[in-house]
Amino acid sequence: MNILGTTLVFIASLSVCLGFFLQTSEVQVILGESVILPCNGSGFPAEELQLHWEAMGKDVISLSGGVITGGSAFEGRVNFLKDPAESKDFSLVLSDVMPNDGDVYECLWEGNKPICSVLLHVLMDPNLFPDHVEVFEGEDITLECFGNIPKNKPWEDIYIQWLKDDKEILRLSSGKMDVSIDYSIIALPPRHDICRGVFSLTIMSVSVFDQGDYQCRYKSTDYEAPRSGFPERHMLMVWAASSGMTDLMDSVSSASVTSHTHTSTSVPTWTAVASSQIEAGRTAPAHAYAASTQTEVSSTAPERAEARRFLSGQRDPLEFLSDEKTPWIRIGLISGVLLVTAVVLGLLLLSGRI
C-alpha cells in the first residue's frame, strides 16, 4: 500500500508540475445561437499568458503577448468571455453557431498542454423554421437550409442541389452554379456562408409560378449520395397581389396553365455560371442567376373574373352592362332598341294607322 500511495502522489505531483489538470465538459446549443465554452484558468500564472483554443486541429482563437487572434473558420464569431489575464477565466464565446461547429474544443496552455476539453453539440430545432411559407407576389423570399460539411472542405468539392416539385432547379458543383432558366431569379448565399454550411435559396420577385414544394440537398463527402439539408423541405404558398379572393384564384389558375406549358418540354435548359461570380463578397442575392422565361400572369385576370361572376349569376346583368369596361354592350343595346323602334314605325305606316 505504501508503494501504491507513493506512486499516486508522484503522478499527482507530476500532473501539477506539467499543468495537466484537464477540465472536461459537454455543452449543447441551438442552431444560430451563441454558446459559452467554459474553462477555469485560476490555477495558472497571469504573467505572459499563452492560450490557444483549437477544434480537432483547427485554430479557434489564440492569446499571445496580449494579442488575440481568431481562426479563419471562426473569424468574427469567437472571443474570450472575459479578459483572461484579469479574470483568470479562459472561457470563450462562439456566436451564430452552425452545424459544422459541433466538435471537441480544447484549450491549450503554452500551445501544447491541455487545460480544458469541451464537447459541443449543435441541436437542430424543427420549430425554428416552419415547413409552410407564405409570401405575396412580387416580394423576395429566402428558404433556409443548413448542412454539416467539413470546415476545410475545398470550394470545388462542395455540392448543393435545390429541387422544386422533385425537379432540379439549381446545382452548385465543381465551383460552378447552374440554374434552370425555366424558373425565377434565384441565388445562393455568399461563398463564405456556403463554406460554413449555409445553403439557403433566395427567390427574387416571387410569382405564382414559384409556388410549390422545395427541397435542399448536399454532399458532406465526395463519395456519398446527396443528403437532405435542414430543414428538409419548404412548401411555398404565393398570394397574388390582389384585394379579392376571386382574383387570387384566377391568377392561380392562369399560373397552372403556364406551369403546364413549361413542364411539357423534355429537358430544361441550363446556364453555367462562372465560380468567380458566386464568390462575390456581397450579401444574398448578389450572385449569378438566370432570368426566367416564364410569362407573367396575364393582366386581364380581373376582367375574366368579372365575366365569370356575370355568367354564374353572382352579379346583376344590368350592373354588368353599366360597367365602363363594356361600352360596346351598351352601344349594341341602344342600336337594337332603335332598330326595333324603326321596324314598328314602318309597320304602322304601312297599315295606315299613323
Handedness of CA 322, 326, 327, 329 (dihedral sign): negative
Alpha carbon distance 167, 264 (integer Å):
13
Cβ(93)–Cβ(79) under 8 Å? yes
| 87-146: pLDDT as tens digits | 889 999 999 999 999 999 999 988 788 999 999 999 988 888 888 999 999 999 999 999
pLDDT at 280 over 60: no
pLDDT for position 284: 34
pLDDT for position 281: 34
pLDDT for position 125: 85
Which span out of 172-181, 250-259, 310-319 was modeled with the highest average pLDDT?
172-181
Q: How far is Cα of residue 119 from the mean position of the Cα atoms in its chain?
A: 28
Which span out of 60-69, 180-189, 267-276, 287-296 was modeled with the highest average pLDDT?
60-69
| 47-58: pLDDT as tens digits | 778 899 999 889
Q: What is the pTM of this model?
A: 0.60
Cβ(261)–Cβ(298) under 8 Å? no
**197 Rama sector, left if φ>0, alpha if ψ -120 to 50, beta otherwise:** left
Alpha carbon distance 285, 200 (integer Å):
10
pLDDT for position 242: 62
Task: Write down the mean pLDDT value for the chain.
Answer: 74
| 320-344: pLDDT as tens digits | 444 444 455 556 767 777 887 787 7
The more confident residue out of 185 and 287 is 185
| Sheet architecture: strand order including 92-94 | 35-37, 92-94, 78-80
Alpha carbon distance 163, 287 (integer Å):
19
Burial 97-128, CB ≥16 within 10 A → b, else e:
bbbbbbbebbbbbeeebbbbbbebebeeeeee
What is the percent of the chain with per-residue pLDDT over 90, rounded to a whole number?
43
Cβ(107)–Cβ(44) under 8 Å? no
What is the percent of the chain with per-residue pLDDT over 70, rounded to a whole number?
66
Q: What is the mean pLDDT of residues 216-241?
A: 91
Alpha carbon distance 248, 297 (integer Å):
11
pLDDT for position 5: 45
| 175-224: pLDDT as tens digits | 999 998 776 688 999 999 999 999 999 999 999 999 999 999 999 988 88
Q: Which amino acid is present at 267? A: V
Confidence of residue 228 (pLDDT cuts 50, 70, 90): very high
pLDDT for position 246: 43
**335 Rama sector, left if φ>0, alpha if ψ -120 to 50, beta otherwise:** alpha
Q: What is the 3-state secondary structure (H, E, C) of 118-182?
A: EEEEEECCHHHCCCEEEEECCCCEEECCECCCCCCCCHHHCEEEEEECCEEEEEEECCEEEEECC
Residue of 227, 213, 296 whose CA lies nearest to 258: 296
Backbone angles phi, psi at 52, to 5 degrees: -145, 120
Across the strands, what pairs with 89? 40
The length of the chain is: 354
pLDDT for position 329: 59
Handedness of CA 337, 340, 346, 347 (dihedral sign): negative
The more confident residue out of 40 and 20 is 40
pLDDT for position 213: 96
238 grid coordinates: 404565393
Q: Strand, coil or helix: what is 22?
A: coil
Q: How far is Cα of residue 169 from the mean position of the Cα atoms in its chain?
A: 15
pLDDT for position 56: 87
Q: What is the mean pLDDT of residues 9-13?
A: 41
pLDDT at 240 over 80: yes
pLDDT for position 12: 41
pLDDT for position 105: 96
pLDDT for position 226: 93
| 145-162: pLDDT as tens digits | 999 999 888 999 999 999
pLDDT at 313 over 50: no
